[in-house]
Amino acid sequence: MPTRDRLRQELQSHLDLRIAELIADGVDAESARRIAAVEFGGMAGVEQECRDARRWHRLADFLADTRFALRSLRRSPGFALVAVLLLGLGIGANTVIFSLVQATLLRPLPYANDSRLVWLTEVDGQGADQSFSIPDFRDFQADRTVFSSMGGYRDLSLTITAAGRDAQQVPTRITMPETFETLGVAPARGRLFSAREQQANGPPVVIISDRFWHSYFGAEAGVVGQALPTSRGPLTVVGVMPPGFVFGPKVDLWAPYPQYVPALYLQDRADSFILYGVARLKPGVSLAAAGNAVSALSHNLAAEYPKSNATVRAKMMTLREQLTGNISASLWMVFGAVNLVLLIVCANLANLLLVRAAAREQEMAVRIAIGAGRGRIARQLFAEGLLLAMLGGGAGLVCAVAALPALTAALPANFPVLGPLTLNRPVLAFSFAVAAAAGLAFSLIPLVFNFREQLYPVLKQGGRHSSNRGLRAHASLVVIEVALAMTLLAGAGLMLRTMQALNRVALGFDSARLVTATVSLSSTAYRPVPARARYFEQLVRQAGALPGVESSAVVFPLPFTTQIAGCFIAIEGRVPAANAPQTSYYATVNATYFQTMRIPLVAGRAFTAADDAMGAPPVVVIDRGLAEKYWHSPAQAVGRRMEMFTQDFGHGTVPPATIVGVVGEVKSEAADKDANLEVYTPLNMANGFMTLVLRMRARPDAEAMAAALHTVFRRLDPSLVVPTPHAMSEIVAQSQSIRQQSMWLLEIFAGAALLLAGLGIYGVLSYMAQLRRREFGIRVALGAEPARLTRGIVAHSVKLTAIGLAIGTGAALVLSRFLATLLYGVTRFDPLTLISVALVLLISAIAASLIPALRASTADPRTALQAE
Amino acid sequence: MNASPDLLPGTLDLLVLKILALGPRHGYAIARRLRQISDTVLEVRQGSLYPALHRLERQGWIRAKWQVSETGREARFYSLSAAGRRQLAREAAAWERMSEAVKLVLAAAE
């Protein structure tokens, strides 16, 4: 670029030459200078224009382009509205789902350097999680080869007994020393536990969450030092955690572990498995190296304490994975689905833009004829695409803002979200990126179209562009849309069949019309087992007498809840192999339980009231799985004797019991998990925490039932917290809730994809038929049957759809491996699903093509030929 | 002074490219040549010639070099690039079609 001086030199030399010419013609020098100057025009102005012509003047051009784009969009309001609406929905849905992904899988945990934190537990010989025993935990904590620090925790509930308020259960996490330090967090007010407070006989203290500080203490400033009254006595608040701090699902209180663990657990390596570990990797230590070290330590412990630790192994994973592992597959699947929908939206819009570009060919030609540069036109088309994308992005944000609260409310209660769903910076950045990518795609399409064609035809025969290249672009877009829709529909179909399979699974009991209410006997009066048994016996009787109740029972633990009770067993006459201790799960029930839950009796007899009585000879009932494992048939198990070893019965074992009956298996955790081996004990081994189960005669009126139960509970013991009743069917449904929700979302997106693809096909075929209207008119005039024309158009649509289906099926087969962990009862290549989904798409495509086909063939040939 | 028709901006480009196709020239020479071969019908405002030249140069259709001119002084000479040659052909063809079409319309209107 010539410098300022060079430019002026050039312009000046022009002037000089002109002056010289004038002088040569005989003009005097003075007049020549004047004339030349006037002819030239203002030197400064010309200089500026030259400089402007050289510089791109990006900003001014950009604004001009944007204004032009706005005007051009305003001229076709229908197109603009449809485009912005479609884009808004597509980008909005994408943003909402991404905010969910971000809040769950991507947002950093509220701890320092959270990627270096790991979670640890111990598993038994069969890989079942049994958590750490305290001595084992201490051994791991002392080992400093790979961890810079390690903490531990256990979850329980504290009952808050404030005067004048209803007693409430608050989820609490008791933490070992060093836990908060491992997490690297500090309280917003007050302090963490002191060394003195983290001893077994230390002063009773508690750290509260920010949420609890607001809800219970009304956010009063002097909360540190205040007493929180609980059923264990008053706890002094020593600290308040910052807002947004989360450690434990719905946990609001943290207390020192040593104050809560009975002394006997402190030394017991064998049967007391009760805490989980959280550790921080040393800098430079990889996850794999830590895994090896942990494994080695487990082996050492197994060698050193063969009796208790022979088959015990430690298990480690990143803390993030522990929190979100079981839902990441579902979430990414839903995210993938919504992106597919957005791609279909973009394909539809690309079709619309191509049509528009063809219609504006004449406008482009005129503009070029009057001097607009190609580059300028290209930039303007680019600006139009970007403007459309930005408007769509804006509409998308509006949709997202509206939809976020709805999604938050619809999330199942146990969803591990690390904070509220908001449009924070990462989400906004993502939304912007998506809109920009879409804008880029849109701008390129008319550019490619316009500059591959000739730009200068001014008068064209027919007035409409009907080049093969344009039609092929439309056809390709239709194929792409069908392929995308097929992929999405295939995934949705597989999920639908999975849910169907899950719902058909026999649970082992009848969950219809069952009401449950879980009671916690949290006062010291119920420490002796006879007191508990008596309470529950009375509860069963009084609740069973309520109107509408067919039968009542109590159980611990209730199937499909997170409560689970494991034990070791020893069968009389079978010596367990050294490395394979016999484990099982157990439940405590009363005599009416099997009948109330309609669990079938397979051999022997169920419990009777005599078995429930204190001091009765020890008996157990086992399930069919256990019976068939150790004896050939259930009938053979009846009358045998076995022993159980559990942590809830202190250090000692239960006296050997006689097996009096065998019942059918019950799915105790989830429909898609195998039934656990189960040993049932009668009510004289009652827990302090059991669930009342009522079978109703008819569908219960929820409010009346709750009120009646409330009365029964208060009458029995007013000092206990009155539990909230839940329907068993809801509890069972909750165990599938995340899968269920993702399936619903997937169905919605698949439906949207089908609709959009159908509309796309309809639109493109209408357009193509309209382009060929003249051709059709001629053919009909020459005697062709309209029916053949119709068939031709429909056949064309079927051909495009078939290609799309083929591509989509291939894509579905490849992508379905990401779904594999979510499927149940159906393989990922399931032909039935693929075929049905393909048929649905094919029929939709044919339906979408019928109207334009019929319209094209019934067009009056005269009007078709005349419309030029 | 002739009553010269205002040149449309697009046409100016075409004419400049054509003149340069006949050989490199500096700005003043282009203006003079245009006046000559159009029989003085076409007169370009000198204020619009130089911005056009600079723009064409930025678009890559003409190239510029400082050289010694016939008067012995230095001048900025413009020459047609290969891309410019192609552009000239395109624009000339378009112009032909346009003028044919206009002629047809004028003939028909009588």
B1 domain residue, yes or no: no
Answer yes or no: do A471 and A620 share one domain: no
Predicted local confidence at residue A4, as pLDDT:
72
Predicted local confidence at residue A460, as pLDDT:
42
Residue B63 β-bridge partners: B79
Predicted local confidence at residue B40, as pLDDT:
65
B39 domain residue, yes or no: yes
CB A507 within 8 A of CB A672: no
A615 pLDDT above the threshold of 90 = no
To 5 degrees, how large is the angle CA A357–CA A359–CA A361?
70
CA–CA gap between residue A357 and residue A342 (Å, rounded): 22
Please tell me which residue, A403 or A450, carries the higher pLDDT value: A403
Predicted local confidence at residue B1, as pLDDT:
36
A851 pLDDT above the threshold of 70 = yes
Mean pLDDT on A219-242 = 90
A580 pLDDT above the threshold of 60 = no
The answer to which of A111-125, A731-745, A830-844 has the lowest mean pLDDT is A731-745
Q: How far is B51 from chain A (nearest CA, A)?
A: 4
Predicted local confidence at residue A241, as pLDDT:
95
Residue with tokens 């050294």: A578
Half-sphere exposure of A327 (CA within 13 A, CB side): 27
Answer yes or no: do A458 and A575 share one domain: no
Residue with tokens 């550790």: A279
CB contacts, 8 Å: A461 with chain B: none
A800 domain residue, yes or no: yes
CA–CA gap between residue A483 and residue A801 (Å, rounded): 8
Distance of CA A733 to the CA centre of its chain: 17
Which of A384, A359, A666, A342 is closest to A509 using CA atoms? Answer: A666
- Which long-range CB contacts under 8 A does A377-380 form with residues at least 24 apart? A377/A450, A378/A447, A378/A451, A379/A61, A379/A65, A380/A65, A380/A68, A380/A69
Predicted local confidence at residue A688, as pLDDT:
75
Predicted local confidence at residue A223, as pLDDT:
92
Cβ contact B50–A41 (<8 Å): no
Predicted local confidence at residue A660, as pLDDT:
93
- CA torsion A532-A538-A542-A548 (nearest 10°) is 70
Say if A123 is an interface residue toward chain B (CB within 8 Å). Answer: no
A159 pLDDT above the threshold of 50 = yes
CA–CA gap between residue A428 and residue A414 (Å, rounded): 26
CA–CA gap between residue A392 and residue A83 (Å, rounded): 7
Say if A48 is an interface residue toward chain B (CB within 8 Å). Answer: no
SS3 A766: helix
Cβ contact B54–A46 (<8 Å): no
CA–CA gap between residue A325 and residue A66 (Å, rounded): 46
- CA torsion A274-A278-A281-A287 (nearest 10°) is 70
Predicted local confidence at residue A465, as pLDDT:
47
Cβ contact A6–B9 (<8 Å): no
A25 pLDDT above the threshold of 70 = yes
pLDDT digit string, tens, across residues A296-329? 999 999 888 887 787 788 999 999 888 887 788 8
Nearest neighbour of B9 by CB, restricted to A17, A45, A371: A371
CB contacts, 8 Å: A18 with chain B: 28
Say if A9 is an interface residue toward chain B (CB within 8 Å). Answer: yes
pLDDT band with cut points at 50, 70 and 90 for residue A454? very low
A463 pLDDT above the threshold of 80 = no
CA–CA gap between residue A619 and residue A612 (Å, rounded): 9
CB contacts, 8 Å: A9 with chain B: 74
CA–CA gap between residue A5 and residue A792 (Å, rounded): 70
Say if A6 is an interface residue toward chain B (CB within 8 Å). Answer: yes
A653 pLDDT above the threshold of 70 = no
Predicted local confidence at residue A468, as pLDDT:
59
Closest residue in A to B101 (Cα) is A459
Cβ contact B10–A368 (<8 Å): yes
And the tokens for A498? 């999975």
CA–CA gap between residue A605 and residue A592 (Å, rounded): 12
pLDDT band with cut points at 50, 70 and 90 for residue A15? confident
Q: Domain boundary residue among A667, A698, A729?
A: A698
Interface test with A, best of B12, B68, B76, B105 (most A CBs within 10 A): B76
B40 domain residue, yes or no: yes
Mean pLDDT on A828-850 = 90
Interface test with A, best of B6, B15, B25, B28 (most A CBs within 10 A): B28
CB A392 within 8 A of CB A71: no
Nearest neighbour of A53 by CB, restricted to B31, B51, B66: B51
Cβ contact A53–B52 (<8 Å): yes
CB A663 within 8 A of CB A624: yes
Residue type, A202: G
And the tokens for A730? 């809801």
Q: How far is B36 from chain A (nearest CA, A)?
A: 14
pLDDT band with cut points at 50, 70 and 90 for residue A459? very low
Residues whose CB is less than 8 angstroms from the CB of residue A3 and which lie 6 or more positions away in sequence, other chains included? none
Predicted local confidence at residue A214, as pLDDT:
92
Predicted local confidence at residue A335, as pLDDT:
92
B4 domain residue, yes or no: no
Please tell me which residue, A301 or A774, carries the higher pLDDT value: A301
And the tokens for A323? 């929190």
Predicted local confidence at residue A695, as pLDDT:
92
Residue with tokens 């140069």: B57
Q: What is the mean pLDDT of chain A?
A: 83
CA–CA gap between residue A715 and residue A704 (Å, rounded): 17
Nearest neighbour of B46 by CB, restricted to A40, A51, A372: A40
Mean pLDDT on A360-372 = 69
Predicted local confidence at residue A455, as pLDDT:
40
Q: What are phi and psi of A88, to 5 degrees?
A: -60, -45
Mean pLDDT on A581-596 = 86
Residue with tokens 């006879």: A530
- Average pLDDT per run of 10 along chain B, which is 110 residues long? 53 88 90 78 73 85 87 86 88 88 82
Predicted local confidence at residue B12, as pLDDT:
83
Domains contained in chain B, number = 1
pLDDT band with cut points at 50, 70 and 90 for residue A46? confident
B3 domain residue, yes or no: no
pLDDT band with cut points at 50, 70 and 90 for residue A129? confident
Q: How are strands ordered across the β-sheet holding B25-26? A: B25-26, B74-80, B62-68
CB A601 within 8 A of CB A661: yes
Closest residue in B to A14 (Cα) is B28
CA–CA gap between residue A388 and residue A69 (Å, rounded): 9
| Exposed / middle / buried, residue A400 (Cβ in 10 Å: 0-12, 13-18, 19+) | buried
A534 domain residue, yes or no: yes
Mean pLDDT on A186-190 = 93
Predicted local confidence at residue A804, as pLDDT:
93
The pTM of the full predicted model, rounded to 2 decimals, is: 0.70
A535 domain residue, yes or no: yes
CB A339 within 8 A of CB A91: no
Q: Could you tell me where the DSSP H helices lie in A216-318? A: 263-267, 287-304, 306-309
Cβ contact B47–A40 (<8 Å): yes
The answer to which of A59-63, A307-311, A337-341, B31-35 has the lowest mean pLDDT is A59-63
- CA torsion A168-A174-A179-A180 (nearest 10°) is 20
Mean pLDDT on A544-555 = 92
Predicted local confidence at residue A126, as pLDDT:
67
Answer yes or no: do A616 and A645 share one domain: yes
Cβ contact A14–B47 (<8 Å): no
Closest residue in B to A16 (Cα) is B28
ipTM of the complex: 0.84
Mean pLDDT is highest, among A437-441, A486-490, A581-585, A687-691, for: A486-490
Answer yes or no: do A542 and A656 share one domain: yes
A163 pLDDT above the threshold of 90 = no
B35 domain residue, yes or no: yes
Closest residue in B to A9 (Cα) is B75
Answer yes or no: do A141 and A289 share one domain: yes
Please tell me which residue, A387 or A49, carries the higher pLDDT value: A387
Residue type, A466: S
CA–CA gap between residue B50 and residue A15 (Å, rounded): 12
Exposure string for A247-280, b = 16+ CB within 10 A, e = fewer? bbeebbbbbbbbbbbeeebeebbbbbbbbbbbbb
Q: Are strands A168-175 and A253-256 parallel, antiparallel or unpaired?
A: parallel
B67 domain residue, yes or no: yes
Please tell me which residue, A723 or A808, carries the higher pLDDT value: A808
Closest residue in A to B93 (Cα) is A456
Q: What are phi and psi of A801, to 5 degrees?
A: -60, -40
Predicted local confidence at residue A406, as pLDDT:
87
- In percent, the amount of chain A with pLDDT more than 70 equals 89
CA–CA gap between residue A723 and residue A710 (Å, rounded): 8
Which of A666, A812, A814 is closest to A732 using CA atoms? Answer: A666
A728 pLDDT above the threshold of 70 = yes
CB contacts, 8 Å: A456 with chain B: 90, 93-94, 97
Nearest neighbour of B59 by CB, restricted to A18, A51, A375: A375
Q: Domain boundary residue among A698, A729, A745?
A: A698
| Exposed / middle / buried, residue A60 (Cβ in 10 Å: 0-12, 13-18, 19+) | exposed
Domains contained in chain A, number = 4
Which of A767, A794, A769, A785 is closest to A850 using CA atoms? Answer: A794
Q: How far is A36 from chain B (nearest CA, A)?
A: 10
- In percent, the amount of chain A with pLDDT more than 90 equals 29
Closest residue in B to A370 (Cα) is B10
Cβ contact B46–A456 (<8 Å): no
Instruction: Tell whether the torsion through CA atoms of A249, A250, A252 and A253 is positive or negative.
Output: negative
Predicted local confidence at residue A786, as pLDDT:
79
And the tokens for A138? 């201490």
Answer yes or no: do A554 and A597 share one domain: yes
pLDDT band with cut points at 50, 70 and 90 for residue A461? very low
Half-sphere exposure of A863 (CA within 13 A, CB side): 6
To 5 degrees, how large is the angle CA A728–CA A732–CA A737?
135
pLDDT band with cut points at 50, 70 and 90 for residue A449? low
> Could you tell me the residue range of the domain that residue A40 belongs to?
4-55
Interface test with B, best of A1, A9, A17, A22 (most B CBs within 10 A): A17
A93 domain residue, yes or no: no
Say if A23 is an interface residue toward chain B (CB within 8 Å). Answer: no
Say if A35 is an interface residue toward chain B (CB within 8 Å). Answer: no
Instruction: Tell whether the torsion through CA atoms of A19, A25, A29 and A34 is positive or negative.
Output: negative
Residue with tokens 């009765």: A616
Answer yes or no: do A476 and A527 share one domain: no
Cβ contact A53–B66 (<8 Å): no
Distance of CA A594 to the CA centre of its chain: 37
Closest residue in B to A372 (Cα) is B10
CB A334 within 8 A of CB A745: yes
Size of interface A-B (CB pairs under 8 A): 78
B51 domain residue, yes or no: yes
A760 domain residue, yes or no: yes
Q: Domain boundary residue among A278, A311, A344?
A: A311
Nearest neighbour of A458 by CB, restricted to B12, B55, B101: B101
Please tell me which residue, B5 or A358, carries the higher pLDDT value: A358
> Could you tell me the residue range of the domain that residue B18 belongs to?
9-109
Q: B95: domain CATH number?
A: 1.10.10.10
Predicted local confidence at residue A225, as pLDDT:
93
Mean pLDDT on A417-422 = 75
Predicted local confidence at residue A525, as pLDDT:
78
CB contacts, 8 Å: A451 with chain B: none
Answer yes or no: do A481 and A518 share one domain: no
Nearest neighbour of A41 by CB, restricted to B8, B45, B54: B45
Half-sphere exposure of A514 (CA within 13 A, CB side): 24
Answer yes or no: do A661 and A744 share one domain: no
CA–CA gap between residue A855 and residue A768 (Å, rounded): 12
